[in-house]
Amino acid sequence: MEAGAVIVAKVLNEKSSYNQLEDVYGRMSTLQVGDLIVGALGHRNALMGYEGVVPSTLAPGDVINLLNLGGVMGQALSYSPEVGPPFQIEILGQVLSYPTFQSRVGTPANIRQKSIAKGEIRRRIPVVTVVGTCMNSGKTAACCKLVKSLASAGLKVAGIKLTGVSLVRDILAMKDYGAAWAFDFTDTGVVTSSDATSVETAQILFAEADRLGADVIVAETGDGIMGEYGVQAILAHKELMAHSAACLLCANDPVGVSGALEFLDRKFGVKVDVVCGPATDNAVGTRFVEKTFGVPAINARSRGEELGKRVLELVKKF
């Protein structure tokens, strides 16, 4: 089997936590035993979630797992106690696609079939790069506030999630906050990003934003700067990072801030312009970060307008 294959399955057990599935519109539904669901095969390497792989073979009747809220299916290898054991799902079969009008001959469906075509980045379009120390470090909240501020300033904003596991929630949130367009790696035919795919995915999505006429891109890197979803491959790519007009770091605590600042500078030559996330949730963390590291610390939730103005200045200077 290959990643991206679209599969129909039946839910075999119930869960009291992490027990929902996102539909194509972003609505979350609680799953019950016997529910029929459609998803795509993919892997996952989440520190605070599931680890899973694409099975080498798969047939109707086989039992695998649901690896995330977005419908990624695979064979679970390990899990965090925060989410509990994953759903077990029985494979019913693969969805067929009928690309030829009036044809009765179906082909195995894969999410690559309607992915965004490769393009060329023709302009030096400014990108606001948002990275984090880990998942759940406040990246999407920061992106949403930035989108709102930049859009309110009259800019056409493209919200892009570059890495992670397929889930439409984050890009819908950026759309809600005023992004003219919102994409993620799934739109390029990738279920779960990795070092092997993340750079090409970023190039495709930046080129699409350029083609559509975006004035600025707010780019979120899912997961942390240390992980297995391809964030480091993007940070190491000089052509992509040449578009970065500003870099925001989201961190959960001062230790994370310290390590991330040093790691980003030493390994990639990336300088952080603003620190956000839970490490800046009140004056204690904000004061410590600014005094110790000499980097502005602006909380996205409580000082979103100030954060937006700071980033807008950097974008205008780009």
Bridging pattern class, strands 216-221 and 127-132? parallel
Q: Are residues 187 and 246 in the same domain?
A: yes
Q: Are residues 109 and 140 in the same domain?
A: no
Q: Are residues 51 and 162 in the same domain?
A: no
Instruction: Establish if 74 belongs to a structural domain.
Output: yes
Mean predicted confidence (pLDDT) in 93-112: 88
Instruction: Establish if 185 belongs to a structural domain.
Output: yes
pLDDT category, 100, cuts 50, 70, 90?
A: confident
Q: Are residues 141 and 216 in the same domain?
A: yes
Instruction: Establish if 45 belongs to a structural domain.
Output: yes
pLDDT score recorded for residue 104: 81
- H helices present in the chain, as ranges: 139-152, 169-176, 198-212, 231-235, 238-241, 254-263, 283-293, 304-317
pLDDT category, 101, cuts 50, 70, 90?
A: confident
Higher-pLDDT residue of 128 and 135 is 128
pLDDT score recorded for residue 106: 87
Identify whether the C-beta of residue 143 lies closer than 8 Å to the C-beta of residue 220: yes
Instruction: Establish if 121 belongs to a structural domain.
Output: no
Is residue 8's pLDDT more than 80? Answer: yes
Distance CA 184, CA 216 (A): 16
Q: Are residues 165 and 277 in the same domain?
A: yes
Distance CA 1, CA 278 (A): 40
Is residue 102's pLDDT more than 80? Answer: no
Is residue 266's pLDDT more than 80? Answer: yes
Cβ neighbours around 288 below 10 Å, total: 16
Q: Are residues 158 and 233 in the same domain?
A: yes
pLDDT category, 112, cuts 50, 70, 90?
A: very high
Give residue-wise pLDDT tens across range 153-183: 999 999 999 999 999 999 999 999 999 999 9
Is residue 105's pLDDT more than 90? Answer: no
Instruction: Establish if 35 belongs to a structural domain.
Output: yes
- For the record, the structure tokens of 164 come out as 């992670």
Instruction: Establish if 120 belongs to a structural domain.
Output: no
Mean predicted confidence (pLDDT) in 219-229: 95
- For the record, the structure tokens of 203 come out as 């190039």
Identify whether the C-beta of residue 234 lies closer than 8 Å to the C-beta of residue 199: yes
Q: Are residues 185 and 299 in the same domain?
A: yes
pLDDT category, 142, cuts 50, 70, 90?
A: very high
Identify whether the C-beta of residue 261 lies closer than 8 Å to the C-beta of residue 294: no
Q: Are residues 133 and 102 in the same domain?
A: no
Q: Which domain holds residue 275?
A: 127-317
Picking from 69, 85, 114, the residue at the C-terminal end of a domain is 114
Is residue 36's pLDDT more than 90? Answer: yes
Number of structural domains the chain divides into: 2
Instruction: Establish if 119 belongs to a structural domain.
Output: no
Is residue 313's pLDDT more than 90? Answer: yes
pLDDT score recorded for residue 50: 96
Picking from 114, 139, 162, the residue at the C-terminal end of a domain is 114
Distance CA 129, CA 86 (A): 32
Instruction: Establish if 251 belongs to a structural domain.
Output: yes
Q: Are residues 63 and 152 in the same domain?
A: no
Identify whether the C-beta of residue 7 lies closer than 8 Å to the C-beta of residue 95: yes
User: Given the structure tokens 């090409």, which residue do they identify?
Assistant: 200
Picking from 90, 114, 138, the residue at the C-terminal end of a domain is 114
Q: Are residues 202 and 95 in the same domain?
A: no
Give residue 93's region: left, alpha or beta (phi > 0; psi -120 to 50).
left
Is residue 103's pLDDT more than 90? Answer: no
